[in-house]
Amino acid sequence: MALVVNGQLWLPNEILTAIFVEASPTSLASLACISRRFKTVAERILYSSVHIVDSIAPESPTPWKTYRWCESVLKRLSHVDIMRKVHIRWQSDGSPPPLPQYFVAFCERLGESLNYLTFLDSLELQLGPANRVSPLSREPMHAVERVLQRRRFPYLQSCSIGADYTKGGAQSYTFVLVNFLAAHPGLHHLKIPDHHAALNLPIAALHQLSTFRGSPDTAASLLPGRSIQYLALNGSDSDLIRVLPIMAQCAPLPILYLDLSSISARIALLRSVATYLPTIETLRVRLALRHTLHYAFTGIVSTNLFSPSSYPPSNLSNIY
């Protein structure tokens, strides 16, 4: 309800919040400059959900937006109760990155700022080139682990972490990642695209996990004892074919959704999926065109591929 105070229209903060929440971040920043009261309302909206993209290039290797946000958090500790979503992404143009030690201070600074966000429920850290290393210069831990070590977010439900990956040119994850995940039993959604091995977690850890995005080997290690029914996998189709029998044996619940759009899939993979995961209701797939055309012209691919013996129509209701 609007009030008139000293001849001026006065709106409660709740109504201002309902109005401001529809504004863009740029508009909110402008509103924050009008008055102290507008600044208080606009900042609480701005800081409740943060999305930062930093471009990393040889001529500008510093993630300045992330650094400035870290400084702002330390100046606005009164707002930490409303900081619920933090999504930070560092993107590289493919040029050779700075030395690995260059990003150490920024990762540690980011970790210090995140440490205050005890009400965080969604976290994304994709740190681009920060984890690339020289074969002659290895770091003791992954760049993401440097941010997350000794961090605890009691209300965290969604976590997406990673960095650019090249075989032999990136630091592997260590026990720090395992300790972090084990300390967050409330996680429902997890994405780790650059982890290509099993996760040796205690069987009781992540017992609420329902969605995973990452490599086949990591997925197979997470399935036992957990209610994961939604998978989005990356890597090579040969890796997935290798672990599909394991996934079929250890999954306590049927897999309902499988996204293979990040894998160049051959016909052999589709047949293996149909054999070992017959309960799938939704399948997203990107076919390897060269192999598909080869099989088509040699007569291997036919209408029988999608016959009831391979893909039960009642189960595969959606194929993309």
Residues 103 and 224 in one domain: no
Confidence tier at 64 by pLDDT (50, 70, 90): very high
Place of tokens 């961090």: 151
- Residue 198's closest CA among 156, 231, 246, 162? 246
Report yes or no on 255 lying in a domain.
Answer: yes
Same-domain status, 164 and 227: no
173 shares its domain with 201: no
- Distance, C-alpha 300 to centroid of its chain: 38
Residue 180 has pLDDT above 50, yes or no: yes
Q: Which residues contact 68 (CB under 8 A, 6 or more apart)?
A: none
Reply yes or no on whether the pLDDT at 81 is more than 50.
yes
Q: What share of the chain has pLDDT > 90, as a percent?
A: 52
Same-domain status, 174 and 201: no
Domain co-membership, 150 together with 220? no
Domain that holds residue 252: 196-300
Mean pLDDT of 111-128: 95
Are residues 170 and 216 both part of a single domain?
no
**Do 164 and 208 fall into the same domain?**
no
Q: CA angle, corner 30, sides to 6 and 51, nearest 5?
A: 130
Residue 194 banded pLDDT, cuts 50, 70, 90? very high
In a domain, 39, yes or no: no
What's the mean per-residue pLDDT of the chain? 84
Share of the chain above pLDDT 70, in %: 82
Instruction: Please give the pLDDT value at position 241.
Output: 95
Instruction: Please state the domain count of the chain.
Output: 2
pLDDT band at 136 (very low <50, low <70, confident <90, very high): low
What pLDDT is recorded for position 30? 86
Among residues 217, 222, 224, 227, the alpha carbon closest in space to that of 253 is found at: 227
pLDDT for the residue numbered 159: 97
Sign for the pseudo-dihedral over CA of 49, 53, 26, 22: negative
**Nearest-angstrom CA–CA distance, 242 and 257:** 19
Q: Looking at the structure, do residues 105 and 219 belong to the same domain, yes or no?
A: no
Residue 46: is its pLDDT beyond 70?
yes
**Could you tell me if residue 204 is inside a domain?**
yes
pLDDT higher than 50, residue 17? yes
Q: Inform me whether the pLDDT recorded for 168 exceeds 80.
A: no
Q: Lowest-pLDDT range, 33-47, 66-80, 224-238?
A: 33-47
Q: Is the pLDDT higher at 26 or at 155?
A: 155
Tell me, yes or no, whether 175 and 104 share the same domain. Answer: yes
Taking 80 as the threshold, does the pLDDT of residue 286 lie above it?
A: yes
Domain boundary among 118, 151, 180: 180
41 is a domain residue:
no
- DSSP H helical segments within 82-198, as ranges? 104-114, 143-148, 175-182
Assess contact for 182 and 151: CB atoms under 8 A: no
Same domain, residue pair 256 and 280: yes
Q: Taking the chain, what is the end-to-end CA distance rounded to the nearest angstrom?
A: 50
Residue 158 forms part of a structural domain? yes
pLDDT at 54 over 50: yes
